[in-house]
């Protein structure tokens, strides 16, 4: 056996040996052990150092990881499962070193090698298993849960390919696959003992047993193996290590034995690939549904595997008495993506563990909690009944039964109102009926939460109005947050050191303590140090922009940044129009009171979202014109940063002066990028949307640049919206539109921006870019004036960081813990 081991399996063996060995070594000793092996491979030195270090750090966590598991099992604590199709984790090394307090030891271990810790960290591939805010929220929540000593397990999918890598070629987005597992993932541990099988296709049969009970069997299924890969989630300096369990799909061992026996070898192997397809790739759509069959398979695969895991653990401990299951378990559904867990839990309890419907329903409805993430109709998931009927026939039966019983409750509330029944039904009838996944989630959950105050209000008064009438007690708000470990302590070491010098270390786990630095706004030394920190961070950001975009950002100028997924509702277009406005003013010689600024936009467009892709092209073309004109240079620089991701944001938010949060009011559920910037002392220019409203409340109007229509005014204006009139009435916007229509930015590519121009001028423009343009420019002018007074600006910056405590995900998770999970 041993002499047959190939090179790649040697690698696996070494990793597994590391995973299971007793952590008797210090970090330094473990590192020397690993580096001997890794340097003998053909990797370059810094890659070898990274893998050796990561494996050594993981070893340091193993004991605490094991202890966490056994303690949680022993003490009978309520367990929470956080189900999400996305976990946008980013890199793990720096965060682990911070949580385990190993940075000094680590630098010591690296002394013999000619690399810095920062260079080594750059070697780690981002775990980009998410699109944007929703996936990053799941990652921040895991950090907070572990740091707050909560027994919460994340359940997700181990995508072979995460979020695509974005390149910009001739100004256009080009996607390429993100092969993040290429050189192996040093953090994961494959744990085959937790394997489960997930059924697909087949048909149902029923029979009545001797006692007259009807049973349904789902037969002739194609089973897929779910293999567990665990990632450690270390709490901040508290000895807890939680688990993120990611499922990989594989062919079952007994796969297509029949075909083998019949000699259809090639067919059988092809089937194996079909099974492995399920977890091959993350769907890159943010805020829009996709409707693809493979996506539904991913959703069911994750839901079924995770629930089987939970039930198996339960049965091992308590046998088949499920009466306390809902008391000891909570399942949080991150959007409707895993909401198929509702009928799946019913199926497992009824078909596999032989519970009666009412018992199973009582358990399901005391366990499930649903978080809604968007009001955009195009993001609401609806799955075709036809697709369900062949892919998941047993699940479809159960959904129909849930709906029939729930329709009785609706009929009771609104007697004789058949329109209400049709509107509220889980099944959207028609020639091609669909299942409304949000309704399914609401009906089966004891808690339905929005992610910011305004968003929850709009859910109750709009999208889910009828459900709110039926079950007001289910609805609650949990304003999003971000983890202060990654988004301040780790990503901004300079500011972090200054805060710790002033306040001690307590702020890292109690961000409300930052309020105390408000008292320092008149302390000249403190203000000066704050400015020095920002200046140094801007230099680092400028270096990144230079390297990635070839554009010179001058740290003496204002850094004005908008990074997030490219979407019309987020209005990157409004930002670009403002850049064109400044450019036009400069060309006109109208530069009085103009404060020099560097504008940065970054973000990925969904590959099928044509308008978003055209917006990227426009940004790049405008940037080209702006940056190549020597007259413009002293006042304005503009860059589009390719491949925006978590690691990029870790450098961007510390170096930003002005954060752009300019969505059409009522459209951004919460936003979390806004919070990362605020924590790092950026000022915000923003609309009354999502969590911006709560940020404004915390920091006060004097320290926030508010502009534009509010959600109510947007709805009002929509009734009779005439953008063409707005353009004619605004000299500034007229000039901008003139430049655009003249083809100034696309001389050799005529017509490519027609769609954008038409969208702005359309009375049906949902995002109402023209409506907010003049106010946006006026407030941008105020921003410039404020920036000229550096002392005043710095005081506002300090006040923003000071007021950001409420947006720690620790606060959010305390809310989930006390009001939803009740652990
Ligand atoms: C925080 C974050 C987001 C969310 O940003 P919004 O501005 O709230 O849309 C998206 N992507 C990444 C990489 C992030 O870190």
Query: What is the three-state SS of 360-394?
Result: HHHHHHHHEEEECCCCCHHHCCEEEHHHHHHHCHH
Break the chain into its structural domains and give their ranges. Answer: 10-479, 528-803
Ligand 1 site, residue 723, Cβ cutoff 6 A? no
Residue written as token pair 């946008």: 88
Among 299, 356, 342, 302, residue whose Cα is nearest residue 446: 342
Structure tokens at 254: 């007994």
Structure tokens at 212: 């007259």
How far apart (Å, rounded) are the C-alpha atoms in residues 641 and 600? Answer: 7
Give 222 Cα–ligand 1 centroid separation in angstroms. 38
Ligand 1 site, residue 673, Cβ cutoff 6 A? yes
Q: Name the residue with the closest Cα to ligand 1, atom 7.
A: 673
What is the phi/psi pair of residue 6, to 5°?
A: -85, 175
Among 305, 201, 206, 300, residue whose Cα is nearest residue 246: 305
Q: Note whether 41 and 48 are within 8 A (CB).
A: yes
Ligand 1 site, residue 534, Cβ cutoff 6 A? no
Q: Note whether 787 and 657 are within 8 A (CB).
A: yes
pLDDT at 271: 75
Considering Cα of 265, then 271, then 275, then 276, what sign does the dihedral take?
positive
76 sits in the region (left: phi over 0; alpha: psi -120 to 50; else beta) called left
Q: Note whether 410 and 420 are within 8 A (CB).
A: yes
Residue written as token pair 């597994």: 16
Q: Which fold, 528-803?
A: Rossmann fold (3.40.50)
The closest-lying atom of ligand 1 relative to the alpha carbon of residue 676 is 1
Among 397, 478, 395, 382, residue whose Cα is nearest residue 439: 382
% helix / strand / coil in the chain, to the nearest 5? 55, 15, 30
**Which residue positions in the chain have pLDDT lower than 70?**
1-24, 42-43, 253-261
Which residues have a Cβ under 8 Å from the Cβ of 374 and sit 6 or more positions away? 287, 335, 380, 669
How far apart (Å, rounded) are the C-alpha atoms in residues 374 and 288? Answer: 10
**CA 683 distance to own-chain centroid:** 23
Structure tokens at 183: 């050189």
Q: Decide the pairing of beta strands 447-450 and 475-477.
A: parallel
Give burial (CB, 10 Å; 0-12/13-18/19+) of 591: middle
Q: Name the residue with the closest Cα to ligand 1, atom 9.
A: 564
432 sits in the region (left: phi over 0; alpha: psi -120 to 50; else beta) called beta
Is 528-803 in the same CATH topology as 10-479?
yes
The residues assigned a catalytic role are 373, 564-565, 570, 672, 676
Ligand 1 site, residue 645, Cβ cutoff 6 A? yes
171 sits in the region (left: phi over 0; alpha: psi -120 to 50; else beta) called left
Give 646 Cα–ligand 1 centroid separation in angstroms. 8
Helices (H), 680-722: 692-699, 711-718
Give 284 Cα–ligand 1 centroid separation in angstroms. 14
The mean predicted confidence, pLDDT, of the chain is: 95
Among 84, 39, 92, 94, residue whose Cα is nearest residue 496: 94
Collapsed DSSP state (helix, strand, coil) of residue 331:
strand
Per-residue pLDDT of 171-216, as tens digits, reads: 999 999 999 999 999 999 999 999 999 999 999 999 999 999 999 9
Alpha-carbon distance values, 377 to 289, 428, 438, 633, 667 (Å): 9, 14, 11, 42, 10
How far apart (Å, rounded) are the C-alpha atoms in residues 796 and 682? Answer: 9
Give burial (CB, 10 Å; 0-12/13-18/19+) of 204: middle
Which residues have a Cβ under 8 Å from the Cβ of 145 and sit 6 or more positions away? 80, 82, 152, 233, 242, 813
The closest-lying atom of ligand 1 relative to the alpha carbon of residue 646 is 13
Q: Note whether 400 and 407 are within 8 A (CB).
A: no
Ligand 1 site, residue 672, Cβ cutoff 6 A? yes
The closest-lying atom of ligand 1 relative to the alpha carbon of residue 603 is 11
How far apart (Å, rounded) are the C-alpha atoms in residues 57 and 34? Answer: 11
Cα torsion for 284, 289, 291, 295, to the nearest 10°? 50
Which residues have a Cβ under 8 Å from the Cβ of 331 and sit 6 or more positions away? 80, 81, 83, 307, 310, 341, 345, 367, 368, 369
Alpha-carbon distance values, 495 to 478, 500, 558, 679, 793 (Å): 28, 9, 19, 10, 16
pLDDT at 256: 60
* Whole-prediction pTM: 0.96
Other CB atoms within 10 A of residue 279 CB: 25
Q: Name the residue with the closest Cα to ligand 1, atom 1.
A: 673
Helices (H), 189-328: 257-261, 265-277, 293-318, 325-328
Best mutation site among 133, 568, 606, 679 for ligand 1 pocket (most ligand atoms within 8 Å of CB): 133
Among 344, 30, 54, residue whose Cα is nearest residue 196: 344
First to last CA, the chain: 49
Collapsed DSSP state (helix, strand, coil) of residue 356:
coil
Best mutation site among 91, 128, 132 for ligand 1 pocket (most ligand atoms within 8 Å of CB): 132
Give 674 Cα–ligand 1 centroid separation in angstroms. 8
The hierarchical CATH code for the domain 10-479 is 3.40.50.2000
How far apart (Å, rounded) are the C-alpha atoms in residues 712 and 718? Answer: 10
Give 673 Cα–ligand 1 centroid separation in angstroms. 5
Half-sphere CA count of 804, side-chain side, radius 13 A: 32
How far apart (Å, rounded) are the C-alpha atoms in residues 51 and 58? Answer: 10
The closest-lying atom of ligand 1 relative to the alpha carbon of residue 645 is 13
Give 756 Cα–ligand 1 centroid separation in angstroms. 24
State the maximum Cα–Cα separation within the chain, in Å, rounded to a whole number: 92
Residue written as token pair 């029979």: 207
Give 643 Cα–ligand 1 centroid separation in angstroms. 13
Q: Name the residue with the closest Cα to ligand 1, atom 5.
A: 673
**CA 570 distance to own-chain centroid:** 16
How far apart (Å, rounded) are the C-alpha atoms in residues 434 and 437? Answer: 9
Per-residue pLDDT of 237-291, as tens digits, reads: 999 999 999 999 999 866 566 666 677 777 777 778 889 999 999 999 998 888 7
Which residues does residue 661 pair with via DSSP β-bridges, in sequence order? 686
Which residues does residue 222 pair with via DSSP β-bridges, in sequence order? 200
Q: Name the residue with the closest Cα to ligand 1, atom 8.
A: 671
Ligand 1 site, residue 133, Cβ cutoff 6 A? yes
Which residues does residue 498 pair with via DSSP β-bridges, in sequence order? none
Give 137 Cα–ligand 1 centroid separation in angstroms. 9
How far apart (Å, rounded) are the C-alpha atoms in residues 396 and 211? Answer: 26
pLDDT at 25: 78
The closest-lying atom of ligand 1 relative to the alpha carbon of residue 661 is 7
Q: Note whether 490 and 816 are within 8 A (CB).
A: no
Q: Name the residue with the closest Cα to ligand 1, atom 11.
A: 132
Ligand 1 site, residue 646, Cβ cutoff 6 A? yes
Q: Note whether 730 and 772 are within 8 A (CB).
A: no
Q: Note whether 584 and 667 are within 8 A (CB).
A: no
The closest-lying atom of ligand 1 relative to the alpha carbon of residue 649 is 15
Q: DSSP letter for 161, please.
A: B
Q: Name the residue with the closest Cα to ligand 1, atom 6.
A: 673
Give 132 Cα–ligand 1 centroid separation in angstroms. 5
Helices (H), 435-523: 437-444, 453-458, 465-470, 484, 493-503
Best mutation site among 487, 563, 690 for ligand 1 pocket (most ligand atoms within 8 Å of CB): 563
Which residues does residue 74 pair with via DSSP β-bridges, in sequence order? none
């Amino acid at each position: 056996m041993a002499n047959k081991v190939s090179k790649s399996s040697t690698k696996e063996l070494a990793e597994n040996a590391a995973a299971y060995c007793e952590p008797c070594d210090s970090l330094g000793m473990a590192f020397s052990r690993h580096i001997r092996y890794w340097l003998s491979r053909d990797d370059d030195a810094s890659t070898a150092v990274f893998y050796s270090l990561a494996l050594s750090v993981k070893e340091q966590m193993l004991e605490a990881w094991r202890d966490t598991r056994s303690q949680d099992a022993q003490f009978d604590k309520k367990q929470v499962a956080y189900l999400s199709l996305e976990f946008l984790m980013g890199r793990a090394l720096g965060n682990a070193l911070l949580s385990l307090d190993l940075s000094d030891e680590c630098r010591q271990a690296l002394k013999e090698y000619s690399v810095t810790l920062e260079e080594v960290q750059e070697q780690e591939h981002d775990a980009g298993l998410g699109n944007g805010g929703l996936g990053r929220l799941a990652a921040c929540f895991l950090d907070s849960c572990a740091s707050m000593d909560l027994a919460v397990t994340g359940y997700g999918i181990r995508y072979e390919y995460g979020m695509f890598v974005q390149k910009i070629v001739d100004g256009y987005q080009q996607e390429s696959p993100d092969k993040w597992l290429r050189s192996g993932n040093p953090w994961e541990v494959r744990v085959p003992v937790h394997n489960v099988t997930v059924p697909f296709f087949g048909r149902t049969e029923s029979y009545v047993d001797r006692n007259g009970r009807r049973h349904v069997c789902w037969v002739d299924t194609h089973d897929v193996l779910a293999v567990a890969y665990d990632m450690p989630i270390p709490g901040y300096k508290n000895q807890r290590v939680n688990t993120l369990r990611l499922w990989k799909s594989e062919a079952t061992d007994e796969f297509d034995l029949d075909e083998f026996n019949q000699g259809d070898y090639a067919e059988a192997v092809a089937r194996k690939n079909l099974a492995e397809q399920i977890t091959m790739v993350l769907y890159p759509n943010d805020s829009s549904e996709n409707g693809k069959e493979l996506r539904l398979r991913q959703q069911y695969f994750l839901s079924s595997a995770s629930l089987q895991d939970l039930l198996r653990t339960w049965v091992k401990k308590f046998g088949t008495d499920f009466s306390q299951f809902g008391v000891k378990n909570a399942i949080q559904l991150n959007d409707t993506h895993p909401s198929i867990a509702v009928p799946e839990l019913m199926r497992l309890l009824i078909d596999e563990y032989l519970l009666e419907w009412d018992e199973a329903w009582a358990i399901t409805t005391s366990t499930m909690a649903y978080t809604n993430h968007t009001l955009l109709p195009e993001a609401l998931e609806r799955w075709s009944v036809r697709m369900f009927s062949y892919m998941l026939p047993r699940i479809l039966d159960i959904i129909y039964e849930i709906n029939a019983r729930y329709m009785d409750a609706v009929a009771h509330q609104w007697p004789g109102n058949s329109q209400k029944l049709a509107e509220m039904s889980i099944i959207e009838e028609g020639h091609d009926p669909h299942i409304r996944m949000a309704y399914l989630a609401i009906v089966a959950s004891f808690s339905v939460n929005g992610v910011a105050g305004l968003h929850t209000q709009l859910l109750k008064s709009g999208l889910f109005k009828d459900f709110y009438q039926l079950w007001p007690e289910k609805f609650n708000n949990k304003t999003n947050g971000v983890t202060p470990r990654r988004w301040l302590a780790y990503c901004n070491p300079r500011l972090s050191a200054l805060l710790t010098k002033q306040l001690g270390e307590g702020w890292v786990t109690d961000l409300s303590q930052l309020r105390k630095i408000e008292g320092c706004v008149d302390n000249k030394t403190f203000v000066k140090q704050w400015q020095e920190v920002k200046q140094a961070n801007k230099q680092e950001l400028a270096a990144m922009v230079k390297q990635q975009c070839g554009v010179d950002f001058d740290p003496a100028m204002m850094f004005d940044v908008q990074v997030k997924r490219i979407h019309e509702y987020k209005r990157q277009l409004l930002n670009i129009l403002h850049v064109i406005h400044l450019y036009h003013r400069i060309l006109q010689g109208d530069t009085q009171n103009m404060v020099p600024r560097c504008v940065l936009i970054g973000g990925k467009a969904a590959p099928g979202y044509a308008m978003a892709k055209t917006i990227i092209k426009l940004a790049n073309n405008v940037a080209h014109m702006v940056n190549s004109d020597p007259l413009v240079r002293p006042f304005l620089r503009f860059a589009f940063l390719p491949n925006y991701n978590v690691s990029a944001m870790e450098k961007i938010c510390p170096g930003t002066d002005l954060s752009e949060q300019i969505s059409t009011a009522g459209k951004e559920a919460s936003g979390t990028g806004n919070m990362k910037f605020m924590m790092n002392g950026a000022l915000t220019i923003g609309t009354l949307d999502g969590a911006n409203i709560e940020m404004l409340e915390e920091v006060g109007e004097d320290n926030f640049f508010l502009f534009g229509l509010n959600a109510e005014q947007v709805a009002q204006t929509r009734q009779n919206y005439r953008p063409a009139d707005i353009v004619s009435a605004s000299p500034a916007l007229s000039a901008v539109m003139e430049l655009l229509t003249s083809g100034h930015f696309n001389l050799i590519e005529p017509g490519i921006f027609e769609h954008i121009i038409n969208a702005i001028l359309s009375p049906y423009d949902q995002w109402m870019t023209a409506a907010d343009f003049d106010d946006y420019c006026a407030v941008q002018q105020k921003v410039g004036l404020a920036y000229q007074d550096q002392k005043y600006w710095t005081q506002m910056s300090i006040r923003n960081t000071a007021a950001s405590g409420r947006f720690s995900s620790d606060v959010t998770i305390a809310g989930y813990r006390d009001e939803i999970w009740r652990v």
